Amino acid sequence: MQYYSTNQQAPKADLKEAVVRGLAPDKGLHMPEQLPVFSSAFFEQLHNLSLQEIGAEVAKCFFGDSVDNKALKQIAEETLNFEIPLVKLSEQIFSLELFHGPTCAFKDVGGRFMARMLAYFTQNEQQDIYVLTATSGDTGSAVASGFFNVPGIKVIILYPKGKVSHIQEQQLTTHGHNITALEVDGTFDDCQKLVKEAFNTEGLRKKLKLTSANSINLARFLPQAIYYYHAVAQLGKTDKKIVFSVPSGNFGNLTAGIFAWNSGLPVHKFIAATNVNDIVPQYLETGIFSPKHSIKTLANAMDVGNPSNFVRMLEIFEHQHDKMAEMVKGFSLDDEGIQKYMQLIYEKHQYIADPHGAIGYAALDQQLQENEVGIFLETAHPAKFIDITEKVLQREVPIPERLGAYLKKKKEAVPLKADFNAFQDYLYSIS
């Protein structure tokens, strides 16, 4: 399989080059020449497969011609060594709980998979690889955990000062060893811009071997498709049409779901569920994509004003607005609505949803039709946003032991202005 750049101005790359490089030389994102498609036999047996078995089959379908099958199976098994249960809230609405991994967020799947794939591709390299990652909260913690103490790899995480939750910040800043956190005086979009500029600076690329663990990297976002298949497997046979509601910020998660649908997974439609940073829902309504500065909300992991993966969505739908709008519906919710739905979900179902999951549920509550069944992605444990959750619900939220351990550690972060020259100077200083 070869991978082309969405900007169409760079040579095609093989999987190793696409994963190790992260961003294409022309600043575009890598896309496979052919979108993977499963045989009907796979879907006939899907309901009988475990999460790890599904993971191995999906990895083989997406990456099997570039990675040894035995190695791929091991990567999938090591990545997916925790549960991803589908929880029934009502006859029509289910929650796919993606927070049972080491950092209690959905990005554990992509972060852990990419760490292992990058280690596979670079096992004989002599030069250290620097993984640059911008985070609005959960990406950084998943990447830090997934890459912690991986030989030959150093991770630099950029996060917006004062715009992540306390627990998220502790997860980003307390690993040490090969993990460094940069506390940027700006927004997530500023962090993401710094990372992209670094990739496109020839001097840095000559001095340092750079890659990214953001969802701009194929090996980070594509494995997230695995849990869409697993959700359908757990749902079992149904006469109703399946709708996935996906809380979205940088849109890697939704893009992975669209890949799964394109491969043959029986999905009727997706809902791109956002907070007031509603750039994609606005596009779906008007056909105009208009990035803007992100706005801080209670659902901070989705505070993104210029989502990178939107260009991949355009590629899949052949840059045709009508095609995308037919399959993907938009939805947005402000902070008042988020709090309202957090309360409603608890009162109606005795279920504690985090602010992002509450948006996903709200989209189903408002848009689901009688002949449809909805699955919303519960992307993070509510304890990661404990201040908000306890204030809204007026009750104590238990903190999982693996999260509580981070609160006992000392924060170590390097302050940084949202200025590329400052970031470039820092990178040169550590090389």
Catalytic positions are 107
- At 352, which amino acid appears? I
Residue 326 neighbours by CB under 8 Å, 6+ apart: none
What whole-number distance in Å separates Cα of residue 146 and Cα of residue 214?
A: 13
Give the Cα-Cα-Cα angle 43, 49, 50 (nearest 5 degrees): 140
Looking at the DSSP bridge assignments, the partners of residue 274 are 332
- CB burial string 136-172: b at 16+ within 10 A, e below: bbbbbbbbbbbbbebebbbbbbbbbbebbbebbbbbb
DSSP state of 133: E
Backbone angles phi and psi of 276, in degrees to 5: -70, -10
Backbone angles phi and psi of 211, in degrees to 5: -145, 175
Looking at the DSSP bridge assignments, the partners of residue 332 are 274
Tokens representing 97 are: 């709980």
What whole-number distance in Å separates Cα of residue 13 and Cα of residue 31?
A: 10
Look at the block and give the residue holding tokens 């701009």: 216
Backbone angles phi and psi of 128, in degrees to 5: -60, 145
Angle in degrees, 0-180, between the axes of helices 138-147 and 166-173, rounded to the nearest 10: 30
Give the Cα-Cα-Cα angle 13, 16, 21 (nearest 5 degrees): 75
